[in-house]
Amino acid sequence: MRVRRRPVGAAVGVAALTSTVTLAAGCYGATAVRVVLGTNLPCAERVTSLYVGRPGERTSDPRAVTDRCGAPGPENIGDVMLVPSAGRDDRVLVEVISAPRGKAPEVCRTDATDCVVARRLVSYRSHETRRLPVFLSDRCLGVPCGLDETCVDGRCATADIDAPDFCADNGCDGGAPEAGTADVGAPDAGDAGLTIDPSIPCAGGERVIAKDVPFPSGFMRVGPTHLYWLTPQGIVSMPKGGGAATVVPGNFTVAAPTSDGLFLGNATTLERRTLDGAGSAWTLATRVNAVAATAERVYYANGQSVSFAAANGGTPLGTISPQSATSLAAVDAEVSFAVDRVLTRYNTATQVTQMAQAPAPIRDVLANRQAVAALSMGAVTVWGSFFFDLPADAGHLLFYMALDDRNVYATSTGNGATPPALILYHPLGLAPGGAAWLSLPPYDGTVGSIAADGNCVYAVRTPRGTSIAEIVATPAP
């Protein structure tokens, strides 16, 4: 059942209501695509990444990443559930890249050496879950194909699964798999040692994905496969689809995930680790108060300045600001950082600096290709297509913030006249005068850190009358 979102505050315009009203309907099957992944390549030597974008366009942010699988077979990597972000008949390009360790998956698009790149053009069907097998075969190693093509038995063919000449059987990306590995449905949970998201956890509606987890003492971040949040014991890592919440060894206090790595910092160390926080790639001796990263660079505030280093190897590259920062965010060639109430955006390619001021000292900064958002106790400042402040209601405070490609989110306290905990949101493309905050369904309890990935909004919350924290995934509006 879908819940009608309700406006929060008095200044609600027509644009806000038009963009958020949903009509109640009967119960139907889920509109989704279930991508089932398999390979006959040695997983210990490779990383598999899955990307989803519009037909004819490439995206640099993977939906899921893994470096594990079981015995060679059509379903030995695992499966990923995709849901439409637009209409129920939305059409998307699914691209799966198997790259050797040490080679960025995006490089395989222009240099196919030792890579397998499989593509599918697929349309969602209303109230139907389509099964989409993708087999990454050694017969397609090093075979480059066009953006609307995929490799079939060492040659390029259409990637459109609805085309009459499309090979729809398991193994079509490299010929039929060996005998005995025919399509037998989904593997049992855990068969493949899965670190990839087994599904979008909120695909069927709001779901509790973990219970009895450490309650946060700081902000939450979300990567392609894991959630990370600060606790008194350090940074906690947990798979997005559910599983054990584990304190990352090292007494880290800040974390910045990218598509293929996790950057962590504390009073003495900046370190790059695997996405689960377990394996260390390199360590740099420096104090780290805040951290942000892209595929090429990691930025860190060390108490005296904002500096940056190479993401691969950790070699220091220079200083961006002679002042330190309380929070950092980075996307592509741009890094954003906060010093007291001042928000600075610096483009490392053009060396252009832009500055703006928030209404109060900034506590957190997030960024994506649509906007930069800065959180203070009384407002969220959004800097994108529009520049505007989103203040809290009178008597309320904003504690935590999240950002995806459609909305900015914040948690709000209650004051006795409203529910005790709210997750507010505002569409990034909506003119600032068009609406106040909107709200996800209210919650009777305490809400801590939040994060968003465009599919789900993740929250650490504690039901009223208990002291046990849980992680909840809610469909993004």
Query: Which sequence spans correspond to the domains of the chain?
Result: 32-158, 207-475
pLDDT per position as a tens digit, 291-331: 999 989 999 999 899 999 999 988 999 999 988 899 999 99
Neighbours of 429 (CB within 10 A): 14
Burial 9-34, CB ≥16 within 10 A → b, else e? beebeeebeeebeeeeeeeeeebbbb
pLDDT attached to residue 377? 80
Please give the helix or strand (H or E) that residue 17 lies within, else none: helix 14-20
Q: Report residue 111 as tokens.
A: 């240099």
Residue appearing with tokens 């929060």:
8
Q: Is the pLDDT of residue 165 over 90?
A: no
pLDDT per position as a tens digit, 4-29: 233 333 222 222 222 222 222 333 45
Q: Mean pLDDT throughout 449-464?
A: 91
Summary mean pLDDT of the chain: 80
The CA-based dihedral angle spanning residues 142, 148, 151, 155, taken in that order and rounded to the nearest 10 degrees? -90
Q: Mean pLDDT throughout 128-138?
A: 88
User: Which one of 3.30.70.20, 3.30.365.10, 3.40.50.1100, 2.130.10.30 gives the CATH number of domain 207-475?
Assistant: 2.130.10.30
Name the least confident of 34-38, 108-112, 360-364, 372-376: 34-38
Residue appearing with tokens 């190479």:
310
Percent share of the chain, pLDDT over 90 = 34
pLDDT attached to residue 24? 28
Cα–Cα distance list, 19 to 5, 151, 385, 472, 477 (Å): 10, 41, 17, 24, 10
Q: Rounded to an integer, what distance in angstroms lies between the CA atom of residue 278 and that of residue 154?
A: 36
CB distance 275 to 281 below 8 Å: no
Q: Mean pLDDT throughout 39-57?
A: 87
Q: pTM score, two decimals?
A: 0.61
Please give the helix or strand (H or E) that residue 18 lies within, else none: helix 14-20
- Give the β-pairing of 334-339 and 342-347: antiparallel
Task: Between 378 and 321, name the one with better pLDDT.
Answer: 321
pLDDT attached to residue 65? 81
Phi, psi of 386 (to 5 degrees): -125, 160
Region of residue 351 (left: phi > 0; alpha: psi -120 to 50; beta: else)? left
Those residues with Cβ within 8 angstroms of residue 451's Cβ, 6 or more apart along the chain or in another chain: 220, 221, 222, 227, 229, 402, 457, 458
CB distance 116 to 124 below 8 Å: no
Q: Mean pLDDT throughout 372-387?
A: 87
pLDDT per position as a tens digit, 398-455: 889 999 998 999 998 755 444 457 899 998 877 655 457 888 887 878 888 999 998 8
Phi, psi of 392 (to 5 degrees): -75, 160
